[in-house]
Amino acid sequence: MAFFALVFLVACTQNTKVDPWIVTSPSGNQFTSIDKTGTTVIPNGRLLTPAGKSIEVAPHPYGLTLSPDGNTAVTANSGTNPLSITFIRDILSENPEVQQVPPGPSTDRGVLASVFMGLAISNDNSEVYVAGGQENKIFIFDVITGEKQGFIDCSVQSGDADYTHGYIGDLVLSKDGKKLYAVDQIGFRMVIVDTKTNTLEHSIPVGRYPFGICLSPDEKKVYVANVGMFQYNLIDGITNENANEKALKYPAFAYGSKEMIEGLKNDSVSVPGLGEMNAPEAFSVFTVSIENPDQPEVIAKTKTGNLVGALVEDIPAVGGASPNSLVATDDYVFVTNGTNDNISVISIEKDTVVNTIYLKPDKRVQQFRGVIPFGLALSPDKKQLFVACSGINAIAVIDAQKLDVTGYIPTGWFPAKVEVSNNGEKLIVTNAKGFGSGPNGGETFNRGLEGSYIGSLMKGSVQVLDIPSDNQLQEYTKQVIANNFSFDKASSGKFATRRNNPIPLYPGEKKSPIKHIVFISKENRTYDEVFGQVEKGEGDPMLARYGKGVSFSNNKRTVTVENADVMVNHLKLANDFAISDNFYVDSDVSADGHRWLVNTYPNEWCETCTAASYGGNRSFKFNSKAPGIYGMNGAAGAIYPEDYNEAGSMWDHLERNNIDFFNFGFSIMFEPGLYSEKFKYEGIRHYVNYPLPKPIWDRTSKQYPTYNTAIPDQFRIDQFKKEFNKKWMNGNGTMPSFLTVIIPNDHGAGERPDAGYPFRESYMADNDLAVGRIVEFLSHTPYWENMLIVITEDDAQNGVDHVDAHRSVLMLVSPWVKRDYVSHMHYSFGSIFKTFWNILEMPYLNQYDAGANDLHDFFTDKPNYAPYNAIAVDSRIFEPQKALDPFDENFDWKALEEAPEMDNKDDMIRESKERDEDRLENREK
């Protein structure tokens, strides 16, 4: 990441002769839409034109195997509930047969309690072995009928080793079909299974969170790729009985600190250290010798990619390499480093890295990471290597002898795994997100058995295509680049209208009048739910359940409110300032949403864990002795070291560019955590030794609660105002250039009439008033003349929208923003960050912000300094004082016991059904 030598960025700050490339989204002003026979526009503004044909399967097919006879492909689908596998028989024919097991969302959940990536088909093509995830089993299914035949139990206790709990992932079968090798992700082991007796033979300890596995061609070695950095542990002395008292109000230590490495101990607490970031067990490939079948042993531990802290083009690497998948020839083992955008080449003979293959599809963005290499496959003659590049929706083609990239092939959204047909002529690719979700509401949406929940609508796809000729590959490569990026020179006429715009065309192009940015995150809403009635926008008024003139009841239908205006400040802000009707969250759910919110694109580890977690695979067993039990995380509001991109998050980016910033509640909600009594100043307490990103360690409020819907958003704004006044008003200092604030109660929760929340809509009104109050407060400060407030959601999963289930809320508030304006340009999270960096004269951080459209369309060079005055919400829906009254030190905090976990999927699916029923009832009336 040559952040200080960017072709089109910082170098042109003072040199007017430079004419840099400006990168924008190929979507332009198109809305997200699915066209399976043409060009699909996905939420992040990129285009899909997958080569060959696409076969729809269940969501998130992160696993793929091809039968020995080449006729049947099987996918492991990690994102549905129940989880499933898909058989595609006669895969190379014009009309393949597709069978999902279980057959649909309304069928028996007991068929596959859990499934995660690993698949292998027996030599006689009769049985498929399926990794059973947290069930700690390997299931067996009949390839012909799809019926379950049994399972292999991988749990065992022997001496000091306790593998009662496990999470079976990727697996591989020996050539003779007699041995099965699999990884246990939370057991930090590799297992060897005898397929004749279907029994576990060996458990071999390997590195942290083993993810990928392969055999050497001579089957004398097994290679295991470990994607983890740390083994996390409970804070010493914490039990179920004393957790509320012993748990920490704030994470124990900062990432990379001495305390993180060595541990922390004082009179009140003892927190185990995490050790070194570059330990041999972290981000490495273990070589296991199986020459002696009775005594398999680890004989090498090879670090791949860039070490944490190593200078990569003048920037210290923040995250590890994330080696995730492997394949082997007679000479080499190829390993995809998901965070480094490269492939390590390990010598079979020496078990050391001997070469590196870089994945940089276009030199104009070569300094930015975001390709996310994942699955690998070799041609039958071992001359070509194919790599699933999840981040750019392509398959990279590599000459496996010259170790050179020869080109890229366009795929569906987030290609995960790839296989080659037996004749070496075709590729079979699984695309985890297929063509996207499409709409999940409105007149044209046909609600099937999947319902309207985004996680169920994100169907995966299996792509079958011819391996291209050299000429065809060059055309495909051009298409891949055009699908991801649009390039224009700064001098081109395309940017002529931006001469006086307050937003610089690129960092350093000019000074912006905006000096203070406030970035506000909310939770889980779509555009149509809030702004569907805005006449200037592309909305569906029928879906505006939090708009004007709506009617609703409590769950028991005993209390009804008629003709209410719910989110009145949001609607007033839309009228007084500006919103977008073409903005999309890159995230599907909160787990990846909170990564995106800090400019961290989720890698393959985060994406697969998230899908598995939302599919029902909660791995947290507090009595478990599995060393990785606290490492597979679902709906957390923070980022973990395994998530860190090579250049880190926006926190690292701000710090190394010397930007003053402060944080209110962002990115400090680690899961698992506690939501219990007396946590009004924190929202959550911590009992696992997760490290906080170092830059926000001493730049985060200790008086502002993070996510916890039992704490009113009104209390959060009270705390914000107090701290703001104390730090930056009345001569007490200067407001930082960048503030982050979480206002999360539009997530919604259960009804609590005694606490001021008689309806689910009450949480929306609470959030609405809080947003109005913070804007009112900020717009009456002396900083207002040079301020920009950006308000968005972390995801849109709990709402409905007639354009796309990812379309969400984006509001801009500033004297420099057009009034009563709806922008129609295509925007994503990258657009927000690109605008921030343009204003703050900072280089871009990754391919997602570098390649997005910035938000210049919202702005005017004729500022209007009139402040905003918040308006009261309907007291029938929400009584702010009733919610606030208990928030003193004598409150018994019973309400907190009713606070829901973030993203309770069953609750959201239940709500979506109730919402659909209410809408149908209203239409009939």
Q: Could you give the 3-state DSSP secondary structure of residue 137?
A: strand
Instruction: Output the furthest CA–CA distance in the chain (Å, rounded).
Output: 79
Identify the DSSP state of 867: P
What b-and-e string marks burial along 190-219, b requiring 16 or more CB atoms within 10 Å of the CB? bbbbebeebebebbbbbbbbbbbbbbbeee
904: which residues sit within 8 A by CB, 6+ positions away? none
Class of the CATH domain delimited by 42-51+366-437+458-484? mainly beta
Gap between the Cα atoms of 605 and 390, Å rounded: 12
Phi and psi angles of residue 516, each rounded to the nearest 5 degrees, phi first: -135, 125
pLDDT given at position 762: 96
CA 677 – CA 16 distance, rounded (Å): 60
Each domain of the chain, given as residue ranges in start order, spans: 42-51+366-437+458-484, 518-593+647-844+874-888
Q: What is the pLDDT of residue 10?
A: 38
Which residues partner with 468 through β-bridges? none
Structure tokens that stand for 884 in this block: 């606030």
pLDDT tens digits along 538-584: 999 999 999 999 999 999 999 999 999 999 999 999 999 999 999 99
Contact 450, 437 (CB under 8 A): no
The rounded Cα 549 to chain-centroid distance in angstroms is: 35
Look at phi and psi of residue 730 and say left if phi exceeds 0, alpha if psi is from -120 to 50, else beta.
left
Helix (H) or strand (E) holding 406: strand 404-410
Helices (H), 557-625: 568-576, 590-596, 604-614
Q: Report the chain (925 residues): mean pLDDT per 10 consecutive residues.
A: 38 56 97 97 98 96 97 88 88 96 69 85 97 94 96 91 93 97 97 97 97 98 98 89 86 96 90 97 98 96 97 94 98 98 98 98 96 98 98 98 97 98 98 96 87 88 98 98 98 93 97 98 96 98 96 94 97 98 93 91 90 56 80 81 96 97 94 77 92 96 92 94 96 95 94 92 96 97 98 93 98 98 98 98 98 98 97 94 70 37 53 57 49
Distance (Å, rounded) from C-alpha 94 to C-alpha 924? 44
pTM of the model: 0.94
Tell how far CA 500 is from the center of its chain: 36
Q: What is the pLDDT, as a whole number, of residue 891?
A: 33
Instruction: Say which amino acid occupies 260.
Output: M
Helix (H) or strand (E) holding 733: none
- Which runs of E-coded beta strand occur in 798-884? 810-813, 821-823
88 token code pair: 């595609």
CA 467 distance to own-chain centroid:
31
The dihedral formed by the CA atoms of 745, 750, 751 and 754, expressed in degrees to the nearest 10: -80
pLDDT by residue (tens digit) across 415-461?
999 999 999 999 999 999 999 999 999 998 988 888 888 888 999 99
Distance (Å, rounded) from C-alpha 397 to C-alpha 495? 36
Comparing 42-51+366-437+458-484 with 518-593+647-844+874-888, is the CATH topology the same?
Answer: no
pLDDT tens-digit map of 687-745: 999 999 999 999 999 999 999 888 999 999 999 999 999 999 988 899 999 999 999 99
Residue 438: partners with Cβ closer than 8 Å, 6 or more residues away: 34, 457, 804, 805
What lies within 8 Å, CB to CB, of 335 at 6+ separation is 212, 223, 225, 285, 304, 323, 324, 325, 326, 343, 344, 345, 346
The architecture CATH gives domain 518-593+647-844+874-888: 3-Layer(aba) Sandwich (3.40)
User: Is 761:877 a contact under the CB 8 Å cutoff?
Assistant: yes
Q: What angle do CA 694, 627, 905 make, to 5 degrees?
A: 75
* DSSP category for residue 117: S
What's the burial of 732, exposed, middle or buried (CB within 10 Å: 0-12/13-18/19+)? exposed
Chain CA centroid to CA 446, Å: 27
416 in the Ramachandran plot: left (φ > 0), alpha (ψ -120 to 50) or beta? alpha
Dihedral angle at the C-alpha atoms of 501, 504, 510, 514, nearest 10 degrees?
80
